[in-house]
Amino acid sequence: MRIALLPGDGIGKDIVKQAVKVLDAVGKKYNCVFEYKEALIGGEAIDKVGTPLPQETIDICKESDAVLLGAVGGPKWDNLAGNLRPEAGLLGIRKALGVYANLRPAIVFPQLKDASTLKEEVLKDGIEIMIVRELTGGLYFGEKKRVQTEEGQKAWDTMVYTEKEIDRISRMSFEIARKRNRKLTLVDKSNVLESSRLWREVFTNIAKDYTDVAVDYMYVDNAAMQLVRNPKQFDVILTENTFGDILSDEAAMLTGSLGMLPSASLGDGKVGLYEPIHGSAPDIAGQNKANPIATIMSVAMMLRYSFNMLDAADDIEKAIVTILDKGYRTLDIMQEGMTAVGTEEMGDLIAGEIK
């Protein structure tokens, strides 16, 4: 199994290294070989070859069976033009692989419920929400421009969606809901946005093919509120790109830390892209402080969705639970009475449980 590694910037290198340790442990246990090829993306690619997404990186990813990405970006590159920023590399690889569905599960581990800023009663009995974020359309990819007018500058971004784009991700979301608790909430702003009204129409039509799934509609402002008021009401949330970006950071805080949310990006092609939802955290990069769990959980998703290694995926998730049960915590989820460990130790501990 060929895996492209795109560590990227900031803590990207720290966390991808831990995920590879865990993959190697899986390889040993299941007697299979993971072959890694590292490639440049983001700020590091800008520094070394002058572009955030070199063609060579695209080629390496397309020739792989799956891609593991760390994070991109940092203050060093903040003043570059939009299409030359590290983030353009990330958007570019998502687009190049055609991974339009970004699955972001927010799981509250009982061991960490005190790490959340929410009251225990809101989180009790566990939370497991799946956010399905559209990843290759909307505001991120619509026409954007800046012009000079007589009254000063003017800039715009456009939120564009085609029926086809909504259709394919809606169907995928219904299929996902079918394998879970059969509840699917479409989050939009259809009281204001025309693109949202198209989402509702297309989605409602497809719902007729999935009468076994309970469907619900919610405006995004209300959804932001409901996520912290009563998160248990959600099973699967489907939403467009920008709303999904925002809501998934919010959902991460249910779990106590941004460092706990993995993601899988899938399309109709064969290559899946796996990455934690958090950013590059340049302030703690290279200091053995980052939480590698989101990336390690992303690897579990890779084993499940790209390699159909369901037992191995379960092994990783169980290993994480065991290590949390034993009281080990990285700084972001550290609490009184627990044992603080660094990035490397957390990686070693989780990998060590897979035998």
Burial of 319 (0-12, 13-18, 19+ CB in 10 A): buried
Q: Residue from 6, 25, 53, 90 that binds ligand IPM (CB under 6 A)?
A: 90
Single out the residue of 64, 37, 62, 42 nearest to residue 52, CA to CA. Answer: 42
Verify whether residue 221 is a known catalytic residue.
yes
Q: What residue 279 binds from ligand IPM, Mg ion, none (CB within 5 to 8 A, per partner kind)?
A: ligand IPM
The dihedral sign for the CA sequence 289, 293, 296, 301: negative
Least distance in angstroms from the C-beta of 8 to Mg ion: 14
Q: Which of 14, 245, 315, 332 is catalytic?
A: 245
For the window 242-271, what string marks contact with ligand IPM as x by the rule CB under 6 A?
---x--------------------------
- Angle among Cα 13, 308, 300 to the nearest 5 degrees reads 35
- The site partner of 14 among Mg ion, ligand IPM, none (C-beta below 5 to 8 Å per kind) is none
If you search the block for the tokens 């035998």, which residue do you land on?
355
Which residue's Cβ lies closest to Mg ion?
245
Q: Given candidates 3, 277, 319, 320, which one binds ligand IPM under the rule CB under 6 A?
A: 277
- 219-278: which residues touch Mg ion (CB under 5 A)? 245
**End-to-end alpha carbon distance in the chain:** 20
Pairing, β 66-71 against β 272-274: parallel
Catalytic residue among 140, 210, 274, 328: 140
Q: How far is the CB of 72 from ligand IPM (least distance, A)?
A: 6
Q: Is 73 in the site for ligand IPM (CB under 6 A)?
A: yes
Residue of the chain from 87, 134, 165, 188 that contacts ligand IPM (CB under 6 A): 87
Comparing CB distances to ligand IPM, the nearer of 82 and 110 is 82
Report whether 230 contacts 199 (CB < 8 A).
no
Q: Choose, from 249, 289, 305, 348, the residue flagged as catalytic.
A: 249
Residue ranges of alpha helices (H) inside 230-338 are 241-254, 293-305, 310-325
* β pairing state of 101-107 and 264-266: antiparallel
**Strands 128-134 and 101-107, sheet pairing:** antiparallel
Q: Which residues are catalytic?
A: 140, 189, 221, 245, 249
- Which residues contribute to the site for Mg ion (CB under 5 A)? 245
- Which residues contribute to the site for ligand IPM (CB under 6 A)? 73, 87, 90, 245, 277, 279
